[in-house]
């Protein structure tokens, strides 16, 4: 099952992808993680990506496509993947058709108010990348990662102004991708307007579509 995870920043794609990845034993591929690794390793590409990410702008298509193409060619993706953060433009979607077939595109939908609350309260560990939320998933000790003891911080693209810019960029450049997959009959709208403790209600919607995919593949 090759599944694309769509939706605005902060809608919860990463959380849902991880839960589904664990349950179905196929990898979750996060483009954000690929970016952060390139930035952390201070590669030439990573240095270029840093500028775009810090402003909340989209990284140019050619950079993203090459990163994703290389990752999806690795052995652990042979049986499928949950792809979080790609494609974000029509050019990326069209490029992906040339190297990977998409079986379904999940479009997670939540209101702007929900998005602002989720992203504004998010904190990330500087060492291991673990994600917390000041209200929904607080660390045991404020500002300290439960997993590794690293310091928690608010990413530059999760300040109020950056969030507003990310939502604007999403509507202008990424939303057309939803129409692209809808026209191909591959889109599944998923209601993500649920609190953290109600995540099962989001996952159950995804599972219904995955079950239909499995049934179709056996026919």
Residue in 71, 104, 122, 123 annotated catalytic: 122
- Which SS3 state, helix, strand or coil, does residue 27 take? coil
Q: Are residues 140 and 168 in the same domain?
A: no
Determine if residue 101 is left, alpha or beta; phi over 0 gives left, psi from -120 to 50 gives alpha, anything else beta. Answer: beta
Is it the case that residue 143 has pLDDT exceeding 90? yes
Q: In this structure, what token pair is assigned to residue 151? A: 């310091």
Determine if residue 169 is left, alpha or beta; phi over 0 gives left, psi from -120 to 50 gives alpha, anything else beta. Answer: alpha
Q: Are residues 116 and 104 in the same domain?
A: no
How many domains, in total, are found in the chain?
2
Q: Are residues 90 and 120 in the same domain?
A: no
Confidence band of 37 (pLDDT split at 50, 70, 90): confident
**CA of 43: how far to CAs of 8, 37, 63, 73, 81, in Å?**
28, 9, 13, 21, 26
Range of the domain at 150: 111-154
Domain boundary among 101, 135, 154: 154
Contacts of 51 (CB under 8 A, 6+ apart): none
Is 218 a known active-site residue? no
Alpha helix stretches (DSSP H) within the chain: 13-24, 31-40, 44-55, 61-72, 90-97, 112-120, 160-169, 175-183, 199-218
Is 155 a known active-site residue? yes
Percent of the chain with pLDDT over 70: 98
Q: Are residues 171 and 140 in the same domain?
A: no
Residue in 36, 118, 123, 166 annotated catalytic: 166
Q: Are residues 105 and 115 in the same domain?
A: no
Q: Are residues 88 and 121 in the same domain?
A: no
CATH number at residue 177: 3.40.50.300
Q: Are residues 180 and 90 in the same domain?
A: yes
Q: Are residues 15 and 30 in the same domain?
A: yes
Q: Are residues 95 and 199 in the same domain?
A: yes
Is 88 a known active-site residue? yes
Residue in 18, 155, 173, 201 annotated catalytic: 155
Domain boundary among 154, 185, 206: 154
Q: Are residues 139 and 105 in the same domain?
A: no
Residue in 13, 28, 36, 71 annotated catalytic: 13
Give the DSSP H or E segment for 11.
none
Query: Rg of the chain over CA atoms, in angstroms?
Result: 17
Indicate the pTM of the whole model.
0.78
Q: Are residues 123 and 33 in the same domain?
A: no
Per residue in 3-20, pLDDT (tens digit) is 999 998 888 888 899 999
Is it the case that residue 45 has pLDDT exceeding 90? no
Is 140 a known active-site residue? no
Average pLDDT over residues 107-123: 88
pLDDT score for 140: 95
Residue in 88, 104, 118, 123 annotated catalytic: 88
Q: At what angle do helices 160-169 and 112-120 cross, to 10 degrees?
A: 140
Q: Are residues 10 and 58 in the same domain?
A: yes
Cβ(202)–Cβ(114) below 8 Å: no
């Amino acid at each position: 099952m090759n599944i694309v995870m769509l939706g605005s920043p902060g809608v919860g794609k990463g959380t849902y992808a991880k839960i589904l990845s664990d349950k179905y034993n196929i990898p979750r591929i996060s483009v954000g993680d690929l970016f952060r690794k390139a930035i952390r390793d201070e590669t030439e590409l990573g240095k270029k990506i840093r500028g775009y990410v810090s402003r909340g702008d989209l990284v140019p298509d050619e950079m993203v496509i090459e990163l994703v193409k290389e990752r999806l060619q690795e052995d652990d993706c042979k049986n499928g993947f949950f792809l979080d953060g790609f494609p974000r433009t029509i050019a990326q979607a069209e490029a992906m058709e040339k190297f990977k077939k998409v079986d379904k595109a999940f479009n997670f939908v939540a209101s702007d108010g929900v998005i602002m609350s989720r992203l504004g309260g998010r904190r990330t560990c500087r060492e291991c990348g673990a994600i917390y939320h000041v209200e929904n998933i607080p660390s045991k000790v404020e500002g300290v990662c439960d997993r590794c003891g690293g310091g928690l911080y608010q990413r530059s693209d999760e300040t109020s102004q950056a969030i507003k810019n990310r939502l604007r960029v999403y509507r202008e450049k990424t939303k057309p991708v939803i129409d692209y997959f809808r026209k191909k009959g591959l889109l599944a709208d998923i209601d993500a307007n649920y609190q953290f403790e109600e995540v099962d209600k989001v996952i159950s919607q995804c599972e219904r579509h995955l079950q239909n995919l499995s049934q179709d593949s056996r026919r």
